[in-house]
Amino acid sequence: MSIKSKILVTGGAGFIGSAVVRHILTNTSHSVVNVDALTYAGNLESIPAELHSERYVFEHADICDGVAMARLFAEHQPDAVMHLAAESHVDRSITGPGAFIQTNIVGTYTLLDAALHYWRGLDEARKAAFRFHHISTDEVYGDLEGTNDLFLETTPYAPSSPYSASKAGSDHLVRAWHRTYGLPVLITNCSNNYGPYHFPEKLIPHVILNALAGKPLPVYGNGQQIRDWLYVEDHARALFKVVTEGEVGETYNIGGHNEKQNIDVVRTLCALLEELAPDNPNSIASGREGGFASLITFVTDRPGHDARYAIDAGKIERELGWVPEETFDTGLRKTVQWYLDNESWWQRVLSGDYQLARLGEAV
């Protein structure tokens, strides 16, 4: 990839996608075409206005729309695709799996089809340099029984939820387009992300905002499910490293080396809020008995809940030199502080006002 390439990022208004867009615009000279359908979790306000320039273009489009995808490739002539657009919330996939099949499988097929036709029309130099990077999840592997086992790039797929099954299907499509048609692809599978600009339905932002509001902090089952946590800005760095330096046809697992039980994550968040938001009426300092931790509420576990995820990220470390910069302690502290400092962002999410951005009315 040249010094000044153009990268088409699908799902660039989402949590991880917006982190990728911010990283590229802040730390490189590349241009970004941000393609997003702006469903409920897409938020253009996650790309601060100060980053907007001639290197940034937003396209309001659905990856399931083949005509729109063909137009975007023809018009923008990207040098690479970073495909992050996806439905990603497990609970929503259980109650409404159809949207996950449509976006994650049909949408990925539609994007692959458009990319393949575009790639075939490039001159030899650009054809050799082109990359299609598919961003996936560790949930495609199912869960781990042993306490010391880790997901490898060669771990067999065993998805448990409609979400993870749809992502597994999209991974298989990407590999098939490489093997059958020669499309130069890369795949990454990541562990649980957290950090700034995270939509409030996910565990960490949900706990932070509920705690600040004095609402229950729901924990599934006994809270002993284990996840490997990855700071989203570390993930964005890793993804950029893969699309620019990764070997075509390879898969790279990306993890944060931070295995934590869900209940411990919630308790750590409560302790950080006691320290960083002592004036909140739900803190111990303000007189609430038990403080934020008294809001923890155990609820019925969700169907098919995986017990443990843990990634071996040795391959990307050895081959591409990527390692996470944040520990769980430093990353979680930054995350809590960000939500305390950016109330206007999450208040607009909670009120629904952020959706006005699609009409050009963001403030």
Cβ-contact 85, 103 below 8 angstroms: yes
The residues, ordered by sequence, that sit 6+ positions from 315 with a Cβ below 8 Å of its Cβ are 153, 252, 253
Report the distance separating Cα 261 and Cα 346, nearest Å: 26
Cβ-contact 254, 235 below 8 angstroms: yes
Q: Is 79 helix (H, G, I), strand (E, B) or coil?
A: coil
Nearest residue to 331 (alpha-carbon basis) of 256, 276, 261, 278: 256
Report the distance separating Cα 201 and Cα 197, nearest Å: 12
- Reported as type and span, the H/E element at residue 330 is helix 328-341
- What are 259's strand-pairing partners? 228
Compute CA distances 325 → 190, 237, 331, whole Å: 16, 10, 9
Tell me the two tokens of residue 166.
């749809």
Residue 75 appears among annotated catalytic residues: no
Catalytic residue among 36, 62, 138, 233: 138
User: Rounded to the nearest 10 degrees, what angle do helices 262-276 and 203-213 cross at?
Assistant: 40
Catalytic residue among 163, 231, 309, 354: 163
Nearest residue to 210 (alpha-carbon basis) of 260, 264, 282: 282
Tell me the two tokens of residue 24.
């590229």
Cβ-contact 308, 143 below 8 angstroms: yes
Tell me the two tokens of residue 104.
């994650």
Residue 139 appears among annotated catalytic residues: yes
Catalytic residue among 45, 62, 79, 139: 139
Residue 339 appears among annotated catalytic residues: no
Catalytically active residues, by annotation:
138-139, 163
